[in-house]
Amino acid sequence: MATALKGNIAVGQSGGPTAVINSSLAGVIEEARKHSEITGVYGMWHGIQGFLKEELIDLYAQPAEIVQGLKRTPSAALGSCRYKLKDGDYERILNLFKQYNIRYFHYIGGNDSQDTSNRISKMAQEQGYELRVIGVPKTIDNDLSATDHCPGYGSVARYIAVSTQEMGKDTEAIGLVDNVKILEAMGRNAGWITAAAMLGKKDEDDPPHLIYVPERPITWDGFLGDVQRVYDRLGYCVIVVCEGLTDADTGEPITASASAVDVDSFGHKQMGGVADTLCKEIAARLKIKARYDKPGTIQRMSMALASTVDLEEACMIGAQAVREAVSGKTDFMVSFVRESNDPYRCGTGLVPLSDAALAEKKLPSDYINEAGNFPTERFAEYARPLIGGPLPEYVKLKRVWVPGGGRR
């Protein structure tokens, strides 16, 4: 049994906010209160970047109703950052850990955040400072390779699925005017969010009709041919595309910001604009009117469409991180381990931070159809349990035409 380590927790949130990242934070705070070894929980204001400025919030001072309310509050209550540690930062971090007797470190975030946790853990070990580091996963992109899925994904998947249902209803109704509608979903290199658009589709003719993800680059002739075939059959077409969609001929994203201002400290370019580009090509080459919707950052943290499964699991995984650290574990990220699909059951595991950091999980090939323009049922079986129950049931009028009218 590990020796009890008495001290404080430092916890931070990093990367893009989500609908459930605060639920993970609540899990950390609530679980910490159960352990006498933990004397306090300090929230890093705007992640590791704020910690370097010594900006800390006393989370034990928060009333119980605020901690409970975090579970239904979107975005990042502590504030977030995208900051890559510099060589000169490590000594400052270690000094602050000592100053505030921080013995437990939990960073809630995605690939880059787990890399930060890994680097801090290694630094503490090299300096002989006893620190237990357990990462808490978070990313709507669902691209952490060492876990079945990520907190935040189930909610954005539900958002995209419902938004596509409703956009499809709008386009079907006004298809004589707006013939093609494209929804642009988030995702730099992986199509997990975009693929979720299929989850509300019941019949072959229901929107969405086409879905394109970065794992399958498009050719312009292939894409335009797909659109033309759907339009010829139905008179309208609903498409969902990933902002990181790539061109098969160049191997590059169809659109990405070229401005240095739009590149973060990890070198990630801001994506976006692919739907506008596709609409222009459809209009120019097919002579069909096309418009697009782009929900933008609201899709990643909408509480109105948050998944109940996602909310519960996010809190669970935050609490588990504290339990693992108190038990003596360090240098790990908590992961989800799926036990069953029907009924859905999921437990937790541990993966080395070095395995979680920076490794990127993309859609498996059998989750995308051979034509590269739609997810398969294998993907639906994976994603459906994560979105928190049935989607809205929308009805269609039966087309019973009045005798003698224009339709017979």
Asked if 354 and 338 count as a contact pair (C-beta separation under 8 A), the reply is no
- pLDDT, position 255: 81
Instruction: Establish whether 141 is a catalytic residue.
Output: yes
Over residues 65-71, mean pLDDT: 98
Q: Do domains 7-151+304-356 and 155-300+362-387 have the same CATH topology?
A: yes
Local confidence band at 384 (pLDDT 50, 70, 90 cut-offs): very high
- Exposure b/e, 24-44, CB count within 10 A at least 16 = b: bbbbbbbbbeebeebebbbbb
pLDDT (0 to 100) of residue 399: 86
Where does 155-300+362-387 sit in CATH, by number?
3.40.50.460
Neighbour-count burial of 258, counting CB atoms closer than 10 A to its CB (0-12 exposed, 13-18 middle, 19+ buried): exposed
**To which H or E segment does residue 181 belong?**
strand 180-185
With CA atoms as reference, report the closest residue to 346 among 310, 375, 294: 310
Catalytic annotation, pick one of 141, 206, 226, 310: 141
Contact status, residue 214 vs residue 271, Cβ threshold 8 Å: no
| Cα-trace Rg, the chain | 23
Q: Does domain 7-151+304-356 have CATH number 3.30.565.10?
A: no
- pLDDT at residue 86, as a whole number: 95
What is the Cα 100 distance to its own chain's centre?
32
- Helix and strand counts by DSSP (H, E) for the chain: 13, 11
Mean pLDDT of 238-266: 76
| Residue 262 CB coordination number (10 Å) | 13
- Give me the residue spans of the domains in the chain: 7-151+304-356, 155-300+362-387
Q: Tokens 């049931």 sit at which residue? A: 393
Q: Does 262 score more than 90 pLDDT?
A: no
The residues, any chain, with a CB within 8 Å of residue 387's CB and separated by 6 or more, are 154, 155, 157, 158, 161, 196, 199, 307, 309, 310
Owner of token pair 């935050």: 318
Residues 6+ apart with CB under 8 A from 132: 5, 103, 104, 105, 325, 326, 328, 329, 330
pLDDT of 265 higher than 60 = no
